[in-house]
Structure 1
């Protein structure tokens, strides 16, 4: 597998609170593809039971409808068995899905939100770094309130026997995907700061996507240029706020998951699947 990972300021140890999260920067984490720019392996992270998530078991990604033929060959080599699409029905109708008719997988469409931010009423936030944090914190809180049961369904699907290797994705692999990744990792007992740092890698993914669309997809580039900057941000502090709020209210991410129907048995089954 050909992989590379860009080193960016948001992934330095100082911003991560000084803890050792070197594993986040593993050069094999990013799977380099032609049309998909934020396809990342969630392997290598230590779980709460002392085991480590295996490499090549679970991936997070952006829009898989953009996969090229060469990309599909690579996913075939990886052995992807399950694809979970977190986008809305309108997004799927407009852009299409993972080409499962050419690469058979267990495909699940689980729309986390009913409408994207472009089509829904969103409060106004400052076009500043603090505005980015405030918007994303608000958005992820709203996403959990609206889509908690759908996040739970996605986790249950990942825990189904023989579901992995699996990938879950949305449009940019940033928000819906980012929250689901945080819930999965948090439920498995991965350190909070590691989860936040993993989320922060999406900043580089967004830059890769912007570079690609400017050269290959002018209509998408125009939409990105018209989008408020806070909607395109991936600020780690927003994910830290989200996790801290859940822990403050429920005691742990695992306890929160229990309230939405993801119990100990499901998380234990998922942990076993990701380490076998």
Structure 2
């Protein structure tokens, strides 16, 4: 075993890896320090899961670049001051992963008022409802079913999103869905895998959405009671983001394809995109 140290805001977080860099044992405290970095969450009035994907260590010894790629929940809720703050972060591209129906009924980022490039890349054709999903009460089992279903039916859509993010002059960018949890969570996991961020960190980043969901529900109780009621009546599995679910998905892909990156190649992510993302997002 060899020791690999990663910088994090002036501190050094030490992880253990195999000398080949293929097996990681990152302790929980180190991961928590990374995901809870105060730079990560962008505080906004009406959007509650807008997070920076910078500051994460990689197996190459580099770190993901701050203020270049963000993940978020429903940007259609942005107030005018929120949208200005997003633009002030340097964001030049918004990638909306929601369905066409979601855009038509709820709206989008206010593209007419702010200078951003807007791309609609719907990952799925329709959102899940309690009546059209299996009766799986266990949260992890349900999420694993949902993400396997997404990958079975929408893998090329994820490839399209990754290839777009790798395009010249797209970054800094933010990609989002409704809660910033499922579609956004899987895409974030894929991008971080391309950057060779350890699986434990990827899983934990996905799991941080639970905090955003709590903030959203508290905000909705005051500002959008109907939305708060909808979440209150929703089965818990629909609002969950258990890191163990993402761990299963990543393990699945490694077992079937050898690595997440090899899977991404098979579904249409090209080598130029992989190289471009690493060049743009690693320091």
**Structure 2 length-normalised TM:** 0.87
List structure 1 segments (4+ residues) > 3 angstroms apart after TM superposition. Answer: 16-19
Task: Give the deviation of 1:135 after TM superposition.
Answer: 0.4
Q: Specify the alignment match of 1:149 in structure 2.
A: 156
Q: Work out whether residues 190 and 260 of structure 2, in 8 Å CA contact, stay in contact via their aligned partners in 1.
A: yes
SS at 1:113 equivalent: coil
Q: d(CA) in 2 for partners of 1:274 and 1:70? A: 27
Q: Work out whether residues 164 and 274 of structure 1, in 8 Å CA contact, stay in contact via their aligned partners in 2.
A: no
Q: Specify the alignment match of 2:66 in structure 1.
A: 55
Matched residue pairs, number?
257
2:44 is equivalent to residue 33 of structure 1:
yes
Q: Specify the alignment match of 1:140 in structure 2.
A: 147
Q: Work out whether residues 56 and 197 of structure 2, in 8 Å CA contact, stay in contact via their aligned partners in 1.
A: yes
Q: d(CA) in 2 for partners of 1:232 and 1:49? A: 34
Q: Specify the alignment match of 1:94 in structure 2.
A: 105
2:165 maps to which of 158, 164, 168: 158
SS at 1:83 equivalent: strand
Task: Give the deviation of 1:119 after TM superposition.
Answer: 7.9
Q: d(CA) in 2 for partners of 1:48 and 1:97? A: 37
Task: Give the deviation of 1:224 after TM superposition.
Answer: 1.3
SS at 1:60 equivalent: strand
Q: Work out whether residues 188 and 254 of structure 1, in 8 Å CA contact, stay in contact via their aligned partners in 2.
A: no
SS at 1:107 equivalent: strand
Task: Give the deviation of 1:275 after TM superposition.
Answer: 3.4
Task: Give the deviation of 1:84 after TM superposition.
Answer: 0.5
1:121 maps to which of 99, 116, 132: 132
Q: d(CA) in 2 for partners of 1:172 and 1:119? A: 16
RMSD: 1.5
Q: Specify the alignment match of 1:20 in structure 2.
A: 30
Task: Give the deviation of 1:222 after TM superposition.
Answer: 1.9
Q: d(CA) in 2 for partners of 1:200 and 1:17? A: 16
Task: Give the deviation of 1:116 after TM superposition.
Answer: 0.4
Summarize the Cα distance change of 1:19–1:220 in structure 2 as closer, same or farther, 3 Å threshold.
Answer: closer
Q: Work out whether residues 85 and 168 of structure 1, in 8 Å CA contact, stay in contact via their aligned partners in 2.
A: yes
Q: d(CA) in 2 for partners of 1:183 and 1:96? A: 27
SS at 1:20 equivalent: helix
Higher strand share: 2
Q: Which protein shows a greater Rg?
A: 2
2:193 is equivalent to residue 183 of structure 1:
no
1:256 maps to which of 263, 270, 275: 263
**Deviations 1:177-214 (CA, angstroms, capped at 9, x unpaired):** 00000011012211000000111111111100110111
Task: Give the deviation of 1:90 after TM superposition.
Answer: 0.6
1:45 maps to which of 56, 64, 81: 56
Q: How does 1:191-202 map to 2 (within 5 A)?
A: 191-202=198-209
Higher RCO, 1 vs 2 (CA within 8 Å, ≥6 residues apart): 1
5+ residue gaps, structure 2, are 1-25
Q: d(CA) in 2 for partners of 1:270 and 1:52? A: 13
Q: d(CA) in 2 for partners of 1:51 and 1:264? A: 19
Q: Work out whether residues 163 and 270 of structure 2, in 8 Å CA contact, stay in contact via their aligned partners in 1.
A: no
